[in-house]
Amino acid sequence: MENTENRVPEFEIKKLKEEIKVASEYQRFLKNQRKTEKIVGKREMSHSEATMKHRHNRLKLSAMFVAYGVMRGKSFEDEMKAHVTKKEENLYDASHVKDMAEKFIIDYRIKQLAE
C-alpha cells in the first residue's frame, strides 16, 4: 500500500540508491575478508574485524533498504517485515534497524528542505 506523504524527490532517492550500491560492494569485500582460508586477494584486515564490520554493515544496509522503500511511498511496517531478516529479528537488531531507517529518512527530508 503506497503512502504518498512520505515520497521524496527522485534525485534524493537516487543518492540513497548510490549509497546502497557502495555499501553492498563493501559487504562483498567484507565477506571475502571474513574467510580464514581460501581468501581471494590480499588480506587487509583480520577475519574477526571483518566479521564485526560485516554485521554492522548488514544492519545499515537493512535500514537503507527500509528507508528507500518508505521514500518511494511504501508502508514503514511492510518494509520492516520485508528487509529485517530472521537473523535480525531479535529485539535489539530490529529496533536498531528501525532507528537507523528513521534517521536516514529524516536526513534526506532535511536535505530536501535545505535545497
- Quote the CA–CA distance of 85 and 87 in Å, as a whole number: 5
Query: Whole-angstrom Cα distance, residue 96 to residue 6?
Result: 21
% of the chain at pLDDT higher than 70: 83
**31 is in which domain, residue-wise?**
4-114
6-41 core/surface letters (b: 16 or more CB in 10 A; e: else): bebeeebbeebeebbeeeeeeeebbeebbeeeeeee
Report the range of poorest mean pLDDT among 20-29, 52-61, 86-95.
Answer: 86-95
Q: Whole-number mean pLDDT of the chain?
A: 84
Structural domain total, the chain: 1
pLDDT value at 102 more than 80: yes
pLDDT digits (tens, 9 = 90+) for 77-88: 899 888 886 666
CA-based end-to-end distance of the chain = 29
Label residue 5 exposed, middle or buried (CB < 10 Å: 0-12, 13-18, 19+). exposed
Cell numbers standing for residue 90: 531479535
The yes-or-no verdict on residue 3 having pLDDT over 60 is no
Tell if the pTM clears 0.85, that is, is over it: no
pLDDT at 30: 95
Residue 22 binned pLDDT confidence (cut-offs 50, 70, 90): very high
